[in-house]
Structure 1
Amino acid sequence: MESTLIQGLGFVLVVLACTANDSLQTLGTFLVSNRGRTPLWLQVLWICLATAAILMFGWIRYHGDPAWDRLGSFPPPEAFSWFYLIPPLTIAALTWWGAPIGTSILVLSAFAPMQTTALVKTSALGYLLALVISLLLYGLGLWLLEKRFSRSTEPSSTALPKRWLILQWFSTAWLWCQWMIQNAASLYVYLPRRLSLEELLLSIAVICAALALIFAWGGGPIQSIIRRKINIHDIRSATLIDLVFGMILFTRALSMSMIPLSTTWVFLGLLAGRELALVARLHQASPGQAIKQLVRDLFKASVGVGVSIAVASSLQLVLM
């Protein structure tokens, strides 16, 4: 009975912690660019519909596993103890500090320490891949669009074409679905590997409740990383970021790798490449200032990795 209670509480805590921290990469541009434009309840409803759709699709495709079969290397413990609540509580504390961390690394390595190296390796490679792709895309062509957006006065008026609003909403929903495919394992690691329909619907309700809190909170302190980036308040720039990020995660999904990666590190690589390319092309900020911000973001993310490894190692020593 106690183990079941801890599982349920762990799931609620990890949903709140992971979605709050990872809202930077998936919902950050959506929150910033839609502030004051569309009703908050409609934004929440849209993301909740995307959540239900992708989790139910995974549940059907993988015969009761909404985690998209990515928990094969992370078996559940024989019994859940209160120590398993430490990872989501640690994520919540780091999120309050404003650190973008690899939530997958922290949560999953606590269940399978032997997979920590694989989790860190795939996440680091994801960062480098996103950095290179972003540098190429923004440096060779997308900077021209960003230049046009930065000179336009449309985003501050009601004259912005509705097609951009529609495109951003669909690109955000697509990106959110790609994030769920990669990160559902971090959420459902606390639950049985096969869920009934009733259990699935209850879990979706918990996730949607967490999303409502995050939207009401405005994303929290972690959103400061997004707000510092060049031209990010423009809904068209935000749409481009979502499309590029979603494309990278979709490419990762096509690889069929069963080891989850930290999408946070992928997003930081994307932002780093974009910022460096736009600084070089548009000269809207000094290179030194841009590099300083990127180093600060990377430092906070690195602290998250260090804490993740320390927490996972400590848990294993306690539970042995």
Structure 2
Amino acid sequence: MSPKKNLDQNINQDKLSKKAYSLFDFTKKEKPFLIVICVLISIAGIITPYTYAAMWFGFGLAAYSAIANDSIQTIGTFIASNQHKKWYWLWLFMGLIFVATVTYSWITYGGDVSYERLTTKGLEKAPESFVFLQLAAPIVLLIMTRMRMPVSTTFLLLNVFTYQAGTILSVMEKSLSGYFLAFFIAIIVWFALEKLVKNYLKGKPAPYWIYFQWITSGTLWAVWIMQDAANIAVFLPRQLDVWEFVAYAGFVFLGLGFLFYMKGDKIQGIVNEKSNVTDVRAATIVDLVYAIILFYFKLYNSVPMSTTWVFIGLLGGRELAIALGKEMGDSKDRKKWVRRALKLAKNDAVKAMIGLLVSLVLAVIINEGVRNEILDYFR
């Protein structure tokens, strides 16, 4: 065997050893979490035949897992830039906005808390029975969230309930267009503002900035709920009565409290690793641009979309604009920052794509209608 082949073989063995050690290290550090996952899987297996109990069990898992994963989009910068504040004040602010937003939808749309996102063809029917994999989908989302993967909860939770492949394609089309729109808008906005922001962000923020940030974060959170409440409500009847609504809103409200107490948990690192997001002024700009984009897509049509894809597109474009706008004497330094920005954008997109692939596999396995449409297409 040639020296080059020996070297390549050794490199491959080192890579495999590192991956094996990383997996072993994860299971060792996350032993309590993995025990909880095993318990949840066991309960899901037992409870699946009992429709009403399975409905509320699935909702509870979906509510926490969806908000925990998507928290990086809406309250991630809010948490990052308000670390000095007491967690319960942050919780009450965001929690009451959630209650007000879903209450408006419930009253306006006759018991529908999803702002009519679940009236889309293929999702308009509430589940009359459940299969194990539908209850397992939010458990998979919990695991991916723990691994800091920005997975699309829209894909992972809605795709397992739709009975039409066309609905999945419509959601994918809208979500991917949102990603690219957010990416290019972020480049334009932050490249245009880079010099102004860089000069203005020096020193301690003026006191009034905290009010701007809370207003924009609250607005973003409300608009996000209008888009993604469907991901949680998909387990439930399409029109909730009073007690079902109280259970829905109350559970999510308490779950938000736990999330704020944990300061966003593991996935918060995706926000914290980006440039300047702990600065209240930078966080305000991120939230404002994101809220405008989401509101545009809300008005565009009622088809659900992945807000995760919009968010990672926004952060990716922002990082690239910041890198391109840096004033450096050495072009190698600029290239280094551009490579870093592209690497961050690629890593987030790859992780989100893994979630999409998982959701597509689950949708094909679970839903006969989706399987038949795909088979008919290839015949």
TM-score range, shorter chain: over 0.9
What SS does structure 1 have at the residue aligned with 2:116? Answer: coil
Q: 2:183 aligned with 1:131, yes or no?
A: yes
Q: 2:325 aligned with 1:281, yes or no?
A: yes
Aligned residues of 1:168 and 1:235 also touching (Cα < 8 A) = yes
Paired letter, 2:316: A
User: Which residue in 2 is equivalent to 1:243?
Assistant: 288
Paired letter, 1:99: M
Paired letter, 2:174: T
| Cα separation, 1, equivalents of 2:200 and 2:357 | 39
Q: 2:117 aligns with which of 70, 73, 78?
A: 70
Paired letter, 1:208: F
Note the 1:201-212 alignment, pairs <5 A. Answer: 201-212=246-257
| Cα separation, 1, equivalents of 2:88 and 2:128 | 41
* % same residue: 33
Paired letter, 1:4: Y
| Cα separation, 2, equivalents of 1:118 and 1:149 | 42
| Cα separation, 2, equivalents of 1:7 and 1:149 | 51
| Cα separation, 2, equivalents of 1:187 and 1:163 | 35
Using the TM superposition, give the Cα deviation of residue 292 of structure 1 relative to its aligned residue in structure 2, in angstroms.
1.3
Give the TM-score, by structure 1 length.
Answer: 0.93
User: Which residue in 2 is equivalent to 1:157?
Assistant: none
What SS does structure 2 have at the residue aligned with 1:200? Answer: helix
| Cα separation, 1, equivalents of 2:200 and 2:339 | 24
What SS does structure 2 have at the residue aligned with 1:71? Answer: helix
Aligned residues of 1:6 and 1:82 also touching (Cα < 8 A) = no
Q: 1:2-33: CA deviations, max 9, x gaps?
A: 20000001110000100000001011100111
| Cα separation, 1, equivalents of 2:127 and 2:237 | 11
Of 308-317 and 227-236, more deviation after overlay is shown by: 308-317
Using the TM superposition, give the Cα deviation of residue 314 of structure 1 relative to its aligned residue in structure 2, in angstroms.
2.1
Note the 1:1-320 alignment, pairs <5 A. Answer: 2-36=50-84, 38-72=85-119, 73=121, 74=123, 75-113=125-163, 114=165, 115-140=167-192, 142-150=193-201, 152-154=202-204, 160-255=205-300, 257-283=301-327, 286-316=337-367
| Cα separation, 1, equivalents of 2:303 and 2:298 | 11
| Cα separation, 2, equivalents of 1:218 and 1:47 | 13
| Cα separation, 2, equivalents of 1:267 and 1:41 | 26
| Cα separation, 1, equivalents of 2:61 and 2:303 | 23
| Cα separation, 2, equivalents of 1:186 and 1:244 | 23
Paired letter, 1:260: P
Q: 1:295-320: CA deviations, max 9, x gaps?
A: 11111111111111112222236x99
Paired letter, 2:322: L
Using the TM superposition, give the Cα deviation of residue 136 of structure 1 relative to its aligned residue in structure 2, in angstroms.
1.3
| Cα separation, 1, equivalents of 2:174 and 2:216 | 25
Shift in alpha-carbon separation, 1:196–1:139, aligned structure 2, 3 A: same
Of 218-227 and 172-181, more deviation after overlay is shown by: 218-227
Using the TM superposition, give the Cα deviation of residue 149 of structure 1 relative to its aligned residue in structure 2, in angstroms.
4.4
Aligned residues of 1:6 and 1:81 also touching (Cα < 8 A) = no
What SS does structure 2 have at the residue aligned with 1:7? Answer: helix
What SS does structure 2 have at the residue aligned with 1:286? Answer: helix
Aligned residues of 1:62 and 1:68 also touching (Cα < 8 A) = yes
What SS does structure 2 have at the residue aligned with 1:304? Answer: helix
Aligned residues of 1:149 and 1:236 also touching (Cα < 8 A) = no
Q: Which has the higher contact order (CA 8 A, sep 6+)?
A: 1
| Cα separation, 2, equivalents of 1:40 and 1:87 | 29
| Cα separation, 2, equivalents of 1:224 and 1:287 | 21
| Cα separation, 2, equivalents of 1:58 and 1:187 | 14
Using the TM superposition, give the Cα deviation of residue 242 of structure 1 relative to its aligned residue in structure 2, in angstroms.
0.4
Aligned residues of 1:102 and 1:263 also touching (Cα < 8 A) = yes
Paired letter, 1:116: I
Of 300-309 and 279-288, more deviation after overlay is shown by: 279-288
Structure 1 vs Structure 2 CA RMSD: 1.9
What SS does structure 2 have at the residue aligned with 1:77? Answer: coil
Q: 1:241-280: CA deviations, max 9, x gaps?
A: 000000101111122x121100000001111111111111
User: Which of 1 and 2 has greater Rg?
Assistant: 2
| Cα separation, 2, equivalents of 1:145 and 1:233 | 18
Structure 2: runs of 5 or more not aligned: 1-48, 328-333, 372-379
